[in-house]
Structure 1
Amino acid sequence: MRIGLIGAGAVADYHIAAALELPNASISAVCDIDAVVAQRAAAAAGGASSFTDYRDMIDSGTVDAVIVNTPHSFHLPMVTDAARAGLHVLVEKPMATTLDDCDAMIAACDTAGVALTVGHIQHFMPDKVAAKEHIDSGELGDVVMVRDFRSTDYRPGTRSGWFFSPTVAGGGALINIGGHCIDRSLWFGGGRAERVLASTVNRFSSEVETDGTIALRLANGIGASINVISDPPLKADSLFIVCERGVVVADPRSGTLVQVDGRSRVLHERHPDDIQHAFTAQLADFLDVINGGRPTVPLSHARHVVEVVLESYRSAAEGVARTVGAAPVVSAGAR
């Protein structure tokens, strides 16, 4: 499978390394608006072609699929253009910045008969996989509560400028970092959100929110709390899953622990290759979907993450809890 990488910043190196590791995939082309960045990534991929316009790459005949690794609001045209060219698509999270964009992407890939998956990397992180497998074993009983806390840094100058554009990014810390938290809280909570109460703070003279908190009520009755804090003195990325008979904590910085009746044990020890392992597993999942398999992350889930983010922003603006909409109908043809 010849894969074109659109956007060579941020996590591009992980995507490239994943393709180099898998025997049935290669990065055959790289596109970035910065020619030097595109050429560097193309060289790292083993001599791939480089482009500065994704449309030229799509039309080049050098790719069978694309990974869209660009600012959030750019996803729609890139995904739909690729689909119309008959190319399979893996798009980074968040899927889009509006539900209409999500639906248009799904429809375009469905009509073209190509695979579409969304890069929610949390589902492939070894610390989260270990936690999910243990919970699914039944030893701890049902999940009854989820608590998620992540630190980040949204001081201007700490990341690319587009992250601070409400139009390009669709928001700030909640849609970006909080998108991971919403994703994994819904995943471990085992249900769709039906109620959301959120608050946000804009610090550092930022146009987008730098900090935020979200309280979710899932349709199955489980409560989930999410906190994203910018530039704290202590860094954190901790997911607590409270079950009937024990608590699991998953953290990529320290691994995965479970505690039952005062005794704890390790489910997964942190390894320096954990993040790369996740990206490789994600790409393998994409290739499986291309071959007719079911995605690890359903499109309905990826769309719902965007829906929850948008309702969180509305809740924060209005100062009241919001009801999350009904489940969408997602075409089976688009997987």
Structure 2
Amino acid sequence: MRIGLIGAGAVASFHITAASVLEGIELTAVCDIDEQAARRATVGTGVAVFTDHRRMLQAGLVDAVIVNTPHSLHLPIAEDAAAASVHVLVEKPMATSVADCDRLIAACRASGVALTVGHIQHFLPEKRAAARVIASGELGRVRMIRDNRSTDYRPGTRSAWFFSPEIAGGGALINIGGHCLDRSLWLGGGRAVEMLADTASRFGSPVETDGSMQLLLDNGVGVTISVISDPATRSDSMTIVCERGVIEVDPRRGTTVHIDGRTRTVHESGPDDIQDAFTAQLADFAAVVGGAAPTVPLAHARHVVELVLAAYRSAETGTAVSFAAVEVLA
């Protein structure tokens, strides 16, 4: 399968390395509106460089693309790829509105091309270790989850498009909070039925820099998520409270299980964990192209976008947002 990467931003190197190590996959093109960024990402690879994704699609060099662009561009680029009968792996969030998620899904289905969404949390070894413990039943049911993430949304600390509500769809919650929603829903084992959120915009930022979300899932699991910008102490941690013990997950330290005063490590983090996750994600995409079901269902990716938008409504109105039963897309 010949892969084209559209967008040579922060995680481009992980995608490029993944394509280089997987058998049956070849990176054949990289596209970025900044030609120098594309050339820096491809140095030593010999792949074709484009500054217009449409020209890349017309060149006949790719069978599939990874869309690694600013959020609002996910839909139009994916629609162009689908129209060219090219399979699509789109980075999270799937889109910046639920309607656009539905358009993206419909475009790929109409063209008969595969679609997956890059929710990398599902492939990180420390999160997978937690999922295995939960699935084993050793600790009983999950009862509640606390998810804490730090970030940095001071203007000037990241590309300008992250601070554009129109291009990014929001700030820290749609970006970093999307990861928290993804993993908390997955490990919590349900869909949200209620959301209460609050946001803060500091540093003169036009988008939110901080936020909190409290969710109730349809299986009774309570989830608390905090995303804090520029704290003195950086964090990326989940605490999963189960009936008979507690799982703690941190990509810097690994995954531990604590039962009745005793702790054991079920995953010790290593320097290759992030790259291994991107490689596993691309392998999953290749399997979906071959007819397998995706590790991350499209309905799940769509629900993450739905929840981020609900968080914004809740923060604006100061009230909880409830979700009625919905038809789940395959």
> What is the CA distance between 1:329 and its match in structure 2?
4.3
> What is the CA distance between 1:324 and its match in structure 2?
2.5
Structure 2: distance between partners of 1:326 and 1:101 = 20
SS of equivalent to 1:281: helix
> What is the CA distance between 1:147 and its match in structure 2?
0.7
Instruction: Give the paired residue count.
Output: 330
Structure 2: distance between partners of 1:295 and 1:325 = 25
Instruction: Find out whether 1:212 has 2:214 as its counterpart.
Output: no
Instruction: Find out whether 1:134 has 2:133 as its counterpart.
Output: yes
How far does the alpha carbon of each residue in 1:254-297 deviate from its partner, in whole angstroms, 9 at most, with x for none? 11011000100101001000000000000000000000001000
How far does the alpha carbon of each residue in 1:111-150 deviate from its partner, in whole angstroms, 9 at most, with x for none? 0000000000000000000110011111101101011000
Question: CA-atom RMSD, angstroms?
Answer: 0.8
**Match for residue 164 of structure 1?**
163
For residues 251-270 of structure 1, the aligned pairs below 5 Å read 251-270=250-269
How far does the alpha carbon of each residue in 1:291-313 deviate from its partner, in whole angstroms, 9 at most, with x for none? 00010000000000000000000
Structure 2: distance between partners of 1:130 and 1:214 = 25
Q: TM-score, normalised by structure 2?
A: 0.99
**Match for residue 6 of structure 1?**
6
AA aligned to 1:13 is: S
Structure 2: distance between partners of 1:43 and 1:287 = 25
Structure 2: distance between partners of 1:40 and 1:26 = 18
Structure 2: distance between partners of 1:108 and 1:177 = 27
**Match for residue 34 of structure 1?**
34
Contact 1:308 1:324 in 2 (8 A): no
> What is the CA distance between 1:23 and its match in structure 2?
1.1
Sequence identity (%): 65
> What is the CA distance between 1:42 and its match in structure 2?
2.5
AA aligned to 2:19 is: A
> What is the CA distance between 1:41 and its match in structure 2?
1.8
Structure 2: distance between partners of 1:101 and 1:321 = 24
Structure 2: distance between partners of 1:191 and 1:20 = 36
How far does the alpha carbon of each residue in 1:209-265 deviate from its partner, in whole angstroms, 9 at most, with x for none? 000000001111110000000000001000111100000011101110110001001
Instruction: Find out whether 1:299 has 2:301 as its counterpart.
Output: no
Contact 1:300 1:328 in 2 (8 A): no
For residues 15-26 of structure 1, the aligned pairs below 5 Å read 15-26=15-26
Q: TM-score, normalised by structure 1?
A: 0.97
Instruction: Find out whether 1:120 has 2:130 as its counterpart.
Output: no
Distance 1:326 1:80, change over 3 A: farther
SS of equivalent to 1:132: helix
**Match for residue 99 of structure 2?**
100
User: Structure 1, unaligned stretches of length 5 or more?
Assistant: none
Structure 2: distance between partners of 1:326 and 1:29 = 42
Structure 2: distance between partners of 1:63 and 1:57 = 8
Instruction: Find out whether 1:287 has 2:295 as its counterpart.
Output: no
Distance 1:320 1:32, change over 3 A: same
SS of equivalent to 1:151: strand
Structure 2: distance between partners of 1:137 and 1:81 = 43
Structure 2: distance between partners of 1:195 and 1:38 = 42
How far does the alpha carbon of each residue in 1:302-334 deviate from its partner, in whole angstroms, 9 at most, with x for none? 00000000000000000000112532442x5xx
